[in-house]
Structure 1
Amino acid sequence: MSRLGYYIKSKNFRITMLAAIGTSIAVLLIAYFSLAYYTRHGSGVPVPALKGLSVDKAMAKLQEQGFRVQIDSVYIQDQEPGTVLEQDPDAGTNVKQGRTIYLTVVTRVAPDVSLPDLEQSTYREAIATLANYGLRVSDTSYVSDIARDRILAVKFNGQALKPGDKLPKGSSISLVLGDGAGESEQDIPDLINQDLDAARFAIRGAGFTLGTVTYEGSITDSASLIVSGQSPMRSDSLTKASIGTRINITVTQGKKTIDEQQQPARPQTEPQP
């Protein structure tokens, strides 16, 4: 047997190994208890319960106990603005003084949302769609129209809205619906020289349906389009059409012009001799 083998089996080797293991365990225990003492493990100040308090009261409590505060905000409908919604760490957690406590507070300012397209939606469909956008319906009104319970117009504070208009989330709007008892015929609106949005509104308001929109000429700005033609067109022999009739329009690039009859007359000058 080699010298190494005799040494491994000797009493001195066993004593040396036990001493090394004991020393390692002692070092680990000293490090553990030293770290616990340094960090004051298991000690601290309990975090107060802050949910439901106003943000001012919550901040005063935390600062009184030596905590720092960081606030995040979120808008929630039907929640009192300025109220603490969440806290981190939770109430009762022991933490050291000087630690940052994170609060989620209901904001006082509602974010803007875009009005969805409700054209020809039923009342129930409109209610569901508006709820998904965080909007409410305050009241409804009915006008004579063959389409019963169909959305004909949307208003906010008395002003007509169009899809895409911005509103504060949680706003209450009013809906204009058809009563299903409209006349079988309505006057054909004169759309010539109207801008495209105004023409659409006039067609819907009269109980007709927008048909084909034909773009004539070079279009460089879709926000500046005027109606240059329509079919059917109001004339001396044709003034009315059935509810729901499709009105086709032709639009061109340009701005609304002033009717020549509305222009002031030019002063006439006497001929020169």
Structure 2
Amino acid sequence: MNFLQFMFTKTFWVQMLLAVLLVVVLCFGYLYWLDWHTNHGQQITVPDLSRKSLSEADEILEELDLRRHIIDSASFNPDFPPRSVIEQNPKAGLFVKENRQIYIKLNPSDYGKVLVPNVVFKTKRQAIPTLEALGFKIGDITYKQNIAKDMVLEIKHKGENLESGTQLRKASVIDLVLGDGTREGQEYEEESQDIEDENIDVEAVEDDA
């Protein structure tokens, strides 16, 4: 019996029907497995972890069958508690599947330290923007006798003189001591000149009299 003749036998059609049924069963089985494996149709709302401590965030995510992964900490933000969640991805309110990983950034415990730049002998106009650009705050500005007016003579933090290269935390307050534009003995010379001018005025009045 050749193949053409076999195609018209009952045995052939029974085998074909079994083969089709097997393919259908395998297809449905694969789709069911895929649906189970990918949690198709399952939706979990991403919680808002903002301002939560790491332990609090872990507890919330564990209850929802979600995982977390800490990425590089952000710059210190004084508006958030130290070591709290400052940023997350995916955002709160989005829908994800079970076991999804949530990426979070933590607020550092404090400002990082920054090298104090050398601004001594710089002008006030140069020094203040330089310090502020690095995150420092300008505190008291005082003057001492020096012919270089508004030139930085000293920089201080909490009353202590600072050397360039010292490390301070961002947002630290730095006080400036500037030159007042006078030289030593200048006040005495000016007072002497004033007295001399007054004497000349008196003599001129007496001569007129």
> Shorter-chain TM-score: what band?
0.5 to 0.7
Q: Distance in 2 between matches of 1:109 and 1:174?
A: 22
What's the CA shift for 1:121?
2.1
Identity of aligned residues (%): 36
Q: Distance in 1 between matches of 2:98 and 2:183?
A: 72
Q: Distance in 2 between matches of 1:55 and 1:140?
A: 42
What's the CA shift for 1:176?
1.0
* Residue identity matched to 1:120: F
- 8 Å CA contact retained: 1:42, 1:94: no
| 1:128 to 2:121 alignment | no
Q: Distance in 1 between matches of 2:51 and 2:85?
A: 5
Q: Secondary structure at the match of 2:130?
A: helix
What's the CA shift for 1:110?
2.6
| 1:107 to 2:108 alignment | yes
1:46 paired residue number:
45
| 1:96 to 2:97 alignment | yes
What's the CA shift for 1:55?
4.2
2:76 paired residue number:
76
Task: Note the alpha carbon deviations across 1:198-257, whole angstroms, 9 max, x for none.
Answer: xxxxxxxxxxxxxxxxxxxxxxxxxxxxxxxxxxxxxxxxxxxxxxxxxxxxxxxxxxxx
Aligned length, in residue pairs: 163
Q: Distance in 2 between matches of 1:65 and 1:103?
A: 16
- 8 Å CA contact retained: 1:79, 1:106: no
Task: Note the alpha carbon deviations across 1:106-159, whole angstroms, 9 max, x for none.
Answer: 111332211111122222322211122122122222111122222111112222
Structure 2 vs 1, CA of residues 82 and 159 (structure 1 numbering), >3 Å: closer, same or farther? same
Q: Distance in 2 between matches of 1:128 and 1:77?
A: 21
2:59 paired residue number:
60
Task: Note the alpha carbon deviations across 1:143-195, whole angstroms, 9 max, x for none.
Answer: 1112222211111222211111111222212111112233368xxxxxxxxxx
* Residue identity matched to 2:160: Q
Q: Distance in 2 between matches of 1:136 and 1:77?
A: 16
- 8 Å CA contact retained: 1:75, 1:108: no
Q: Secondary structure at the match of 1:74?
A: coil
* Residue identity matched to 1:152: L
Query: Which gives a bigger RCO, structure 1 or 2 (Cα 8 Å, sep 6+)?
Result: 2
Task: Flag as ranges the 4+ runs of structure 1 deviating above 6 A.
Answer: none
CA RMSD of aligned residues (A): 3.1
What's the CA shift for 1:32?
5.8
TM-score, length of structure 2 as denominator length: 0.64
Equivalence map 1:205-220=2 (5 Å): none
2:204 paired residue number:
none
1:116 paired residue number:
117
Q: Secondary structure at the match of 2:147?
A: coil
Equivalence map 1:1-273=2 (5 Å): 34-72=33-71, 73-80=73-80, 81-183=82-184
Q: Which has the higher Rg, Structure 1 or Structure 2?
A: 2
What's the CA shift for 1:84?
2.0
Q: Distance in 2 between matches of 1:114 and 1:184?
A: 38
* Residue identity matched to 2:184: E
Q: Which has the higher helix share?
A: 2
Q: Distance in 1 between matches of 2:180 and 2:139?
A: 18
* Residue identity matched to 1:76: F
Structure 2 vs 1, CA of residues 59 and 170 (structure 1 numbering), >3 Å: closer, same or farther? farther
* Residue identity matched to 1:135: F
What's the CA shift for 1:46?
1.2
